[in-house]
Chains A and B, each alone.
Chain A
Amino acid sequence: MQVKLIRRKNGLVVRLNGELDHHTATVFREVIDKELSKNLVHNLVVNFENLTFMDSSGIGAILGRYRQVKAKGGKMVFCGLSEHIKKIMQLGGLLTIIPVCSDENKALASLL
């Protein structure tokens, strides 16, 4: 899995490419936590458009980042969810706490 970070005015965009499972969750954590620890951005937009697989390891890893963002007073927004990933997130209760936008620009705009 590739994790691409793009620093934007309203927050950090995280573009995921590939599969998010127990094996790749480590990369996801490390890359995002390193950036968050710089304290330059508090908001996170996670773009799932090119994520082809996710399981409960992904739920746990996302919740972990969500808690950090929350603790710093930031917001987290999702975009680009496929039906399958949406279903996994629903089961994990993520969609009741994290807003979903159709694309990255809308997600960034929602953080204004």
Chain B
Amino acid sequence: MNYMKMEIPARSENESFVRVVVAAFAARLDPTLEELNEVKTAVSEAVTNCIIHAYDNIEEGIIMITVSLDGNKLSLEIEDYGKGIMDIEQAREPLYTEKPELERAGMGFSIMENFMDELFVESVPGKGTRVTMIRTLGKKHTWDSH
């Protein structure tokens, strides 16, 4: 199993950087452009949530990102040590947002769920949150003739 780990402070300018790094790592599975876009969007949602919610825009917070490859299965783990989620079920509901005043749509978890095969959310209030997402990539290769 191949993997990579990165640690970044919770600064919004790092969002695009994480997307690029994750996409570059996933590229070895020869994903379609659509798959790559979906993975980038899912990781962007998880990292943005750490910045806005876990750390309430306090830039010193730390975000850990682990990406691993097992065959053509890509796993993403995004972990923060922020405020945690009290009610995970409610948080995962489409359109639920804690911060409508910041023009949040409440669509982050729905997008992660839609774009990845599996989504797990673990959280301890006051300690932090870990979001794990799995997606099998490059499925087309099993039947593409060339």
Contacts and interface: CB of A to CB of B under 8 A. Distances in A.
Nearest to A29: B103
Given A19-B16, A53-B40, 9 more contacts: A21-B16, A53-B37, A55-B44, A55-B48, A56-B104, A57-B104, A59-B107, A60-B102, A91-B111
Question: How many of chain B's residues touch chain A, expressed as a range?
Answer: 20 to 34
For the residues of B in contact with A, the DSSP-based class is: helix
Nearest to A52: B37
A61 B34 CA distance: 23
A56 B111 contact: yes
B103 A64 contact: yes
Given A55-B48, A56-B45, A92 B105 contact: yes
For the residues of A in contact with B, the DSSP-based class is: helix
B40 A56 contact: no
B114 interface: yes
B114 to A, nearest CB: 6
Contacts, number: 63
B108 interface: yes
A22 interface: yes
A23 B107 contact: no
B44 A21 contact: yes
A29 B34 CA distance: 28
A112 B121 CA distance: 48
Contacts of A23: 12-13, 15-16
A78 to B, nearest CB: 16
Interface string B12-32: 110110010000000000000
A63 B48 CA distance: 18
B30 to A, nearest CB: 18
Contacts of A92: 105, 107
